[in-house]
Amino acid sequence: MRPFLKSENPTSDVKQTAALGRLLAAAAVFFLCLLIAFGASKLLARHCPEKKIKYKDFPGLETEGLELYGKERKNGFRTTAFDSHLYIENDGRPIRSAEFYVTWLRHKKGTTERAMEVYYDTGSGFREEECVQIRLNKGLNRVHFDTLRDVKRIRVDFFNATGSMLHLWRITLNPETYYHLPAFAIFAAAVLLLFVFVTRKSTRGHFALAMLVWIAFAAAAGIPFLRNGRDSIVPVFFALAVPAAFLAASLLMEEGRTKERCFTAALLVTAFALYFLFAYITPYAEGPDEAMHHDVAYYIALRGYLPAGYDPAVRNEIWGFSYAYLPILPFIIAGYLEFVLRQIFNPSFYQLYMTARMVSVASGTLTVYFTWKTAQLLFPKKQIRYFLPLFAAFLPEMAFLNSYVNSDAMAIMTTAMIVYFWASGCAHDWRYRDDAGLSVGMALCALTYYNCYGFILMSIPLFFLTVTGGKKSGREIARMTGFIVALTALLCGWWFIRNMILYDGDLLGRSTLNRYAELYAADGYKPSQILSPRRQGYSLFYMLTSMEWVSKTLRSFVAMFSHYVLRAKHGIYVFYKILFAAGAVSAAFAFIAVIRSGSPGGSYDANGGEGVFGRRKTAALRLCLLVSLAIVLGLGVYYSYAVDFQPQGRYILPMIVPLGCLLTAGFDAVLGRLPRALKKALAVTLSLSPLLAALSVFLDTVAGYYLK
């Protein structure tokens, strides 16, 4: 009989010894992580030390409708009243979380299970917006409440308790035991996964395994993280650091299919993690117009059908209109997700709007995916192709836009989808799958945001300029055209028919929106009372320069958060100004180089040659990208000049995909004339720069502000 773990092959023995060594090293690292996380939890707890409430003579405790209960009146409070309140302070110290032990001693039949609300005062008094509703079940309940910011007072309301008896018998402020759980889980996963990635020779399988293990660890850590750990920046940091490290490592790998797959997985996970964390730590209505957007989704969640734009339930009292007049596909998806959630569970309002925000998070992740696929078609086998998806994914304002309830995130996703099928159609001579993909992209765009309709418009000349002159006959081109038109109309035509029925023939709903805004808007907010620069007699040049439209829009295009009051560090804006200027000069250089060389001009190929598409298709694609960018920019300028002066970068963010293509083309032209080693080093540096900028802005500005 062979001895245990004994092999006749010496090579096998060496492998077993190495595997055992890796296992022991991983165990050592794991326990080291445990010690570090435990120490970190102690440091975090110093700011908000744990305190257990002593009911008798506690200085920060006030009650209404509650009586001391139990042996010698020391076992907590009891209530049988309909509306009882408990006020809690912490001797001047902040309250970040609280734990309540509540027992239903007597449960009246038919009484609602939701019987507790926690209001928290962050400096503006108790408000409905700062309230958490908690479900209490029959018997013992262990309830944990936490918030994002320092709380001065807590008010606990017990309601719908008539005929029942509630016993609140323990309260713990800032329970320390929860602090280390998310930090430990994510930090341990980070170190273990990096260990696996570095020590294994086989990169392909183990990289994918590492990413899956990270997702599993993040999901497991998400249970305590989502419930109790929002006050700590440690889990936030490591939730981003791990996939970002894999993303950076994938850029340093040798070219091949393994690198492509590793980069794709790391890119999507990093983008999703960043958008989700943005959505998670940003308070409700901190995004521009988020409350008005969510009103539409919430209407659908409550009723199960779409609202009319003039319905008072969704009409804003200040502006006098609702977003239900406009294409609302993102809100329809969010609303029905919330509707299903309400049918299955009993969610809080926080869970509902986080569900709605996930539509933007998913849309942003899909934008990254389609942009990366486009880069693979436009810049095959070139190191600089990684810059395009990283630029589109990690522009700080894009990350913020993909985190709250809006229609912009899905609109940009549809533009990325359209551009991808432009490139795929040019590369593969317009297969039917490209026709169908373009139709779906245009239909989704039509149902999402008017500012992006320029991409639909430019799809027409691009298709006919690139499909003609090839192998396809006129009859086949006509059949493909009919297929695209019919499928697009089938997918999005219902919305415009509905508009015509509801709004007396108003196809787009804009005229009806303006009419109702004039009727119901507050004074100073009616369309006729808004003083646009044109109404004030200013010239367009005056608006762009003296009114600082260009500088303000550029700053908010890069990084402006909340209601455009939270700025990034000055260096971030300087970096992107240099990046944009260098990209513009490089793109101009590429154009001049192609003209001087007399080459037919490949797909952004400044070195001559036909490129991947050939001269005709490349020229058409470049022209349509440029015109689409110009249309988005022109609509943003026109809106601020003629309608309402709002120098906000979100109005021109739909141009980010064509802008990224042009910047990448310019950098490709310049790097193509450098030595190979220097070219790769600069390409990796350029590609990683948006990621590093986004992580810096998120951790230093956004998380530092909301998690301080």
Residues 6+ apart with CB under 8 A from 620: 426, 461, 462, 465, 466
- In this predicted model, what pLDDT tens digit does every residue of 434-447 receive, in sequence order? 999 999 999 999 99
pLDDT at 86 (0 to 100): 80
CATH number assigned to the domain covering 51-174: 2.60.120.430
Residue range 79-93: mean pLDDT, rounded: 70
Pairing of strands 61-64, 83-88: antiparallel
- Per-domain boundaries in the chain: 19-47+180-281, 51-174, 290-706
284 compared with 437, residue with greater pLDDT: 437
Residue range 190-200: mean pLDDT, rounded: 50
Residues 6+ apart with CB under 8 A from 666: 582, 583, 584, 585, 586, 587, 588, 589, 590
- Mean pLDDT is lowest, of 85-94, 189-198, 380-389, 494-503, for 189-198
Query: 418 near 366, Cβ under 8 Å?
Result: no
pLDDT at 179 (0 to 100): 41
CA distance 21 to 15: 10
DSSP secondary structure code for residue 452 in this structure:
G
Here the tokens at position 644 are 């309402």
CA distance 591 to 588: 5
pLDDT at 241 (0 to 100): 75
Residue 285 has pLDDT above 70, yes or no: yes
Average confidence score pLDDT of the chain? 78
CA distance 309 to 336: 18
- In this predicted model, what pLDDT tens digit does every residue of 591-602 receive, in sequence order? 666 555 443 333
Residue range 418-430: mean pLDDT, rounded: 92
Residues 6+ apart with CB under 8 A from 507: 496, 499, 500
Query: 311 near 299, Cβ under 8 Å?
Result: yes
Distance of CA 515 to the CA centre of its chain: 34
CA distance 606 to 591: 8
CA distance 229 to 45: 12
pLDDT at 151 (0 to 100): 80
pLDDT at 124 (0 to 100): 76
Indicate the pLDDT class of residue 463, thresholds 50, 70 and 90: very high
- Please, which residues bridge with residue 415 across strands? none
- In this predicted model, what pLDDT tens digit does every residue of 624-644 receive, in sequence order? 999 999 999 999 999 999 998
CA distance 229 to 236: 9
Closest CA to 687 of 394, 368, 387: 387
623 compared with 227, residue with greater pLDDT: 623
pLDDT at 227 (0 to 100): 42
Q: Percentage of residues in the chain with pLDDT exceeding 70?
A: 69
- Mean pLDDT is lowest, of 379-388, 407-416, 606-615, for 606-615
pLDDT at 225 (0 to 100): 44
Residue at token pair 């004339």: 673
Residue 704 has pLDDT above 90, yes or no: no
CA distance 683 to 381: 13
Closest CA to 237 of 668, 679, 703, 677: 703
480 compared with 108, residue with greater pLDDT: 480
Residue 484 has pLDDT above 80, yes or no: yes
- How many residues does the structure list for the chain? 708
Closest CA to 699 of 234, 313, 312: 234
- Mean pLDDT is lowest, of 334-338, 369-373, 463-467, 704-708, for 704-708
29 compared with 634, residue with greater pLDDT: 634
- Mean pLDDT is lowest, of 68-77, 372-381, 451-460, for 68-77
pLDDT at 413 (0 to 100): 96
Query: 624 near 423, Cβ under 8 Å?
Result: no
Here the tokens at position 199 are 């020590």
Residue 497 has pLDDT above 90, yes or no: yes
- Helices 180-199/233-251 angle, 10° precision: 10
